[in-house]
Amino acid sequence: MSAEVNILIIGAGPTGLAAALFLAERGHRARIVEKRATPAPWSKAFGVNARSLSLLATSGVTAQFLENGRRMARLNLHRHGRMLATLRLDQVDDPFPFMLVQSQADSERLIEAALGERGITVERGIEAVAIERDEDKAKVHLRAGNLNSTVIADCVLDASGASSVARKSLGIAFDGKAYNESWQLFDVELDNLPMPASDGNIIIHDDGGMFLVRHYDNLWRVLGNVPNMLDHLPNGTKAGRIHWESDFEIANRVAGRFAEPPFFLAGDAAHIHSGIGARGMNLGIEDAYVFASLYDRRQLDCYDRLRRPVVEKVVSQIKRAMGPPRPSTVAGRIVRAAPWLVPVAVNLVRNAAQRWLLGLDHELGL
Ligand SMILES: Cc1cc2nc3c(=O)[nH]c(=O)nc-3n(C[C@H](O)[C@H](O)[C@H](O)COP(=O)(O)OP(=O)(O)OC[C@H]3O[C@@H](n4cnc5c(N)ncnc54)[C@H](O)[C@@H]3O)c2cc1C
């Protein structure tokens, strides 16, 4: 079986879904295929920044996000039971001066629902297994169980995540550095935590740092590189049921090219990096917005030039902030444990830190 389409999107994570939505808003109907049979249930990216909220506003998705999520307008830095500093996002002059705390599963669900309202359905259980060129078009081989099919597309957006099928097939480099250090993540019920429940809280320990932010009720995200993290919660905190836990390692990598027409890379397919600053999903949503805008204007030849420098800059800032693993000095540990809050102590760059966290540190260039 073979079919022809204008745009094929591979992957229905936040990037692919947002791309389909931004295209639909501009009157373009994309076909979107996803290898998972059911939506991913994980809360992974729990911070939606101001930039994403503003990009999704015209579609009505932002209004639903705001109804569903929780606004986090302050970040506190703690050490030895004392609050050392606070970064106030609510001082930023922007319609969305906060980070919206919301499970990635909810973000995906709400974007997918908005697509459904526009008559676009994610085709689940379909994997893109190979790509090739067909003159100036793309040929993508799909598999659904035992059924194979082929799509000929004018243009393919690969939003299939870090193991990107197109990036690998096209031999595009994915250079960068992996940190040989384990991070842990828990979505866990916590009671009696002696910290503001409306704020994000970073605790500096002797051997790393941990970040605590409340999803809703008494369910908290606890994330960090302190070994056996739940044994290092502040005194008096009672940990209850763990809803999700995960161990992961960090790598900072950017694809050597984001475009090899008719193939384009977006989101984790094009860049992966530490969760510092909660930029991963948000940069993917931005990629999707720029891709859709350029597609609409028939200017996709600008995609790599507009996106790669922005992403490279953010990733190099994250890399610099991370420094070497497990430094021995206290100052080094603070940088290592909470680099995104170091500027808190420095009033001169406070405004830059606030805008960086909200994703407002650059223009889109459109
Ligand atoms: C623990 C954790 C916490 C995080 N916290 C944050 C945060 O707070 N803020 C933030 O911005 N980011 C955060 N991130 C990063 C964020 O989760 C990712 O950047 C984001 O999921 C990338 O979205 P994506 O759509 O590009 O890729 P993915 O989410 O990986 O989606 C890719 C999709 O493509 C599908 N797929 C893969 N291969 C194929 C194929 N061959 N054919 C069809 N479908 C395919 C996959 O099943 C998947 O659904 C976090 C990540 C982790 C792991």
The reported pLDDT for the residue numbered 341 is 52
| Structure token pair of residue 66 | 């705001």
pLDDT at 340 over 60: no
- Confidence band, pLDDT 50/70/90 cuts, at residue 186: very high
Interval 235-260: pLDDT, tens: 999 999 999 999 988 899 999 999 99
Task: Answer yes or no: is pLDDT of 45 > 80.
Answer: yes
Question: pLDDT-derived band of residue 208, with 50, 70 and 90 as boundaries?
Answer: confident
Instruction: Give me the sign of the Cα torsion angle 345, 348, 351, 353.
Output: negative
Mean of pLDDT over the chain: 91
> Mean pLDDT across the stretch 278-283?
92
**Token reading at 286:** 């931005």
Q: Is the pLDDT of residue 136 over 80?
A: yes
Probe ligand 1: pick from 245, 268, 274, 282, max atoms within 8 Å of CB? Answer: 268
What does the pLDDT read at residue 346?
47
Neighbours of 11 (CB within 10 A): 28
Q: For residue 366, tell me if it sits in a domain.
A: no
Question: Residue 104 has what pLDDT?
Answer: 97
pLDDT in tens, 56-113: 999 999 999 999 999 999 999 888 888 888 889 999 999 999 999 999 999 999 999 9
- Of 187, 181, 231, 180, the C-alpha closest to 205 is 231
**pLDDT (0 to 100) of residue 326:** 57
Is residue 77 a contact partner of residue 341, using CB atoms and an 8 Å limit? yes
Average pLDDT over residues 181-195: 92
Domain span at residue 161?
A: 2-71+102-178+251-332+348-357
Split at pLDDT 50, 70, 90, the class of 263 is very high
Residue 139 has pLDDT above 90, yes or no: yes
- What does the pLDDT look like over 301-312, one tens digit per residue? 999 999 999 999
> What number is the average pLDDT over the span 104-123?
98
Contacts of 136 (CB under 8 A, 6+ apart): 261, 262
What pLDDT sits at residue 250?
Answer: 86
Residue 78 burial (CB count, 10 A) = 21
Mutate to test the pocket of ligand 1, among 35, 55, 131, 163 (most ligand atoms within 8 A of CB): 35
Backbone angles phi, psi at 360, to 5 degrees: -105, 25
Count of structural domains, the chain: 1
Give the pLDDT of residue 329.
58
The stretch 290-302 carries a mean pLDDT of 98
In a domain, 138, yes or no: yes
* Contact (Cβ atoms closer than 8 angstroms) between residue 269 and residue 158: yes
245: in domain: no
**pLDDT at 1 exceeding the cut of 70:** no
The pLDDT of residue 327 = 56
Residue nearest atom 7 of ligand 1, based on CA coordinates: 45
Q: Would residue 77 count as lying in a domain?
A: no
pLDDT exceeds cutoff 70 at 37: yes
Query: Residue 339 and residue 337: Cα distance in Å, rounded?
Result: 6
* CA–CA dist 130, 158 (Å, integer): 12
Please state the atom number of ligand 1 nearest to the C-alpha of residue 47.
8
Confirm or reject: Cβ of 92 under 6 Å from ligand 1: no
Which among 157, 127, 122, 137 is positioned nearest to 7, based on CA atoms? Answer: 157
- pLDDT for position 64: 98
Domain membership of residue 218 (yes or no) is no
The mean per-residue pLDDT over the stretch 159-178 comes to 95
For the Cβ of 264 lying below 6 angstroms from any atom of ligand 1, the answer is no
pLDDT at 348 over 50: no
What pLDDT digit, counting tens, does each position of 46-55 carry? 999 999 999 9
State whether the beta carbon of 12 lies less than 6 angstroms from ligand 1.
Answer: yes
Which residues partner with 203 through β-bridges?
78, 210
Res 347 pLDDT > 50: no
* Inside any domain, residue 280: yes
Predicted confidence at residue 353, as pLDDT, reads: 79
Of the listed ranges 37-51, 151-165, 173-187, the least confidently predicted one is 173-187
Q: Is the CB of 161 under 6 A from ligand 1?
A: yes
Atom of ligand 1 nearest to the CA of 284: 26
Residue 14's pLDDT band (cuts 50, 70, 90)? very high
Q: Assign residue 299 the CATH number of its domain.
A: 3.50.50.60
Count, residues in the chain: 366
- Residue 34 lies inside a defined structural domain of this protein: yes
The average pLDDT across 209-226 equals 93
Inside any domain, residue 139: yes
**Relative to the CA of 142, which ligand 1 atom is closest?**
42
Residue 338 has pLDDT above 70, yes or no: no
